[in-house]
Amino acid sequence: MIVHQDNPRLQQWYQRGMTSDTLAIVNLWNDGFSCPQIAAKLGKSVGSVRNSINRARDKGMDVRSRVINPETRRRHLMAGRRSGSMTDMIDSLPDGVVRWLVDNAPKELTLAQFVRAIVIDAYHDEMETGN
């Protein structure tokens, strides 16, 4: 790994004995990548990535305690739930409901975008009324 010359903070840590691999791992971690993602990206083991993060933290480097990127956060929120597909959901609706969706969806939106808007509206309505 090469330490980026344009980042003086990384240069400072490199001069204090942190390896460029560790600096690269910490940068990716702080950017929101998970240990398995970093390991795959850099060709390291997950354990090696975790050890590097812990070593950097122990040496006083600014390492975020837990960073979850949006993709990982969504997986955590959906844990144990099957999301299915929009097509399967529409296919399972009664004909009258499908007709209503088609008739009421703005032409510039897909049916998926329209259903998304309905869900968001229902969510905001519930948050406002506290139900």
Each residue's pLDDT tens digit, 86-116: 888 999 999 999 999 999 999 999 999 999 9
CA distance 111 to 116: 8
Q: What is the pLDDT of residue 2?
A: 47
Over range 12-37, report the average pLDDT. 77
Q: Is the predicted pLDDT of residue 129 greater than 90, yes or no? A: no
Each residue's pLDDT tens digit, 42-67: 999 999 999 988 888 888 777 776 65
CA distance 56 to 28: 13
What is the residue extent of each domain of the chain? Answer: 1-81, 84-129
Q: What is the pLDDT of residue 5?
A: 54
Q: Are 99 and 65 in contact (CB under 8 A)?
A: no
Which residue in 58, 46, 44 sits closest to 16, CA to CA?
58
The amino acid at 15: Q
CA distances from 96 to 89, 91, 119, 128 (A): 14, 12, 19, 30
pTM: 0.44
Mean pLDDT of all residues belonging to the chain:
80
Over range 32-36, report the average pLDDT. 84
